[in-house]
Structure 1
């Protein structure tokens, strides 16, 4: 066999030549060697993966499965040169009791005594059918058994020393294993030759196979020497040759089917002689070949894998999906950002338009106030009013093109406006701002509060003169910026409607701001209670990052 372990001792001059087809198994008792030969012999339980096993007495029974018909057992008093062994079991103690003059054996076949207890060196005769092979001053060797075995025969050989109890028993079971096909050979061609040419190659190769060499092999033995999965491609053609069952007629002796990605390629099992040809493998597919003898249920399998094309590579597919998702996300974000910018431009234009509407409204009211002062003959107050009015108008012009302004500028402009109204109506004004509010870094909508202050003065406290009270507070609460305007005017009902444009424009500005802002929102609240009106404008979350 191909997989054999060779032992060579150059000091031994005598040579015993055994058939290279024999599958030899060696039991070494010190210098005494017991060789079991058969076309194929395997221990039922291998001690390890190594070829040589060293153990110490006491010995356990050695049990073997014997597949070949002829069984031979030879005993020698030294290592045999040029002898090939499948496996070796050796006693490392090298006791003298194992020497020829002390060693005895007994052979039973199917529980019947074939040879009774006798010494290795004595008691041999032609009638015993044991053979003293060769004797020289360097080597003594005796063939103690040479039998043709039938299926299910059991041979038991025991060894002892000088009439004592047996220390070693070898049990050999004759078995036959041909329930599933055995692969004897196979050929591959990946050069893209035509199918007709490859069939000719396969038939030529078949003529060179010595099927008798594989006659007694276990059916699954060759599988462990083959690749578990064979890689193929579109050009690959494969021919697999199988051992004939009982060497009978090979006509349609095989049944097979091919699975493609675990799905059968045909509904029924196909028939074949002693070899099968496979071709036309599709890229990126896994194939499983199932083969059995006709009429049997058990089958053997062989797996093939066809490499995928570059565009079928799973990582390429995953990368492509990731790229598409990333590109889609980028396009979505780009379009969303573009839409948001467009909305912001539109809302900015609307806010500027509302501010443009607010400025004439305020200017009209301011001019009415100046006219009132001049008509009453109060020239000094009119001059002061005009001076503060010009400062306020300068602020309004500065704010006209801005979406937001610092809180400090908003408060400064509102104070200018309130001082103008105080010249006319002489009410009391109270201002407060909480500590911890950064007036320079906090941004608010320009003049959002001015119409509220104007509404409180004109419709609330204008008729009260010195008895009128106006309170303006800038507060901080849980990250919110709060403008609170309170007056002691006559008040109004909650559902009362006003025809003035100032409050309506303020509410529209708040609604438009809320529609374009994700984080900061503005609330507008009004409370009337016992002659007091409180208006609250809340910038929610405006101070949360302060």
Structure 2
């Protein structure tokens, strides 16, 4: 009997030890599965240095521009001319001259299997680990050679030094890269911010300068920047064209200064960077009369920058021409008619009415922006609350593995959501990725099936859509439609281009509901409010909802967003 009692704890300990070993092997298996290898086409990708050696070394993979990328030049700044050049300046050291916004460059470690444990990779003296933009890709396969994905190269730096050291801190390989940047392109000058402005907004932005620019309104380029500008406003906003680098349109910063002796100042990182120029005099913003020249570049490099000159002239503010410029075209009609007095009074009334409406529209736009920000701040906590509810349900079911997977996916989704939390608009491909991440999380809990169908070219479109607009609709389809169906549940999302419209269809095979009854869910009601406010801002969106016993279909139509 005593010997039997002693053997039971030993058996339990043996079981726990076996479980620990199995868990360890399982984690190793997951790590190898996630460490994916991306095969590259030799027709469009090549090694820049291409050394013939079996020793580990640093290299850059050059990705040629695809056909769809070449068409982006009209919407974003990119460098289609500069080709990378390389020179061997010392043993294991190469100097490279390359365009930072030219053909995409990927930093890799070749022959990584020959590296001894404890090696170190440093970029500009800072220790780095792996690629930040594609963490699931550990290796690239090119010309039959497998190389290790290294760090993401910095932007806005004039030069970058990448060094690879062994465990004894001896230099294995080093790249000294000198970057060439194109000059930023000024896209608009106005007294208002246009955060998501594109080529399609050029005509609308030009309307303001038509009335308040003293100089002739001539435009030599397809933008909203007059060739010459003389204005009596107290502050001006300068907006810039988007930047294309590392294979997509990405946020960028502009360095600018006023005059040759001014200090370089950096804008915040935005898809469409801009800055407000003003001078505070007492308690009032007031640009002093005079001639100005702003200089701007991507790096604050005084040797390579663009400039734009303009004049501030407040003496023109009280002139007859300033106040009657919009009426000059009526002078011929007044002289020809005998009702000149009535005509002048009517024109003056129309002029001041137009001025009043212009000021009112500016105030309304600011108010609408504040309301949209308020709704956005409500949507983010709503989304987090529901996601935590799903996680709690898995924990209550004692489903630890699925709960862990759900928590990992949720943290990734939450990080992407927080990165875009301050922006009303996000790129379409980012919104598509976030929606698919969310669906995968809910699939872990409910076990339904889903598919995402997109027209050819949709994922590569340079188009921004309202952040998290689709998420409440998808959440409603899962929660009230297919959550109880398990593997029989089907969710389908279709992205389709119809003429100049983007149409997104969200379909489920749930039991449907009565669309004539008002919705009680907070997510859908907030979505309706957002669409109303976006329509006021001239972002036309419609949402159509059709429900029957066979399921529910929601159609979001973004009208004329592809012009």
In the superposition, the TM-score normalised over structure 2's length comes to 0.38
Larger radius of gyration: 1
What is the TM-score of this pair, normalised by structure 1? Answer: 0.39
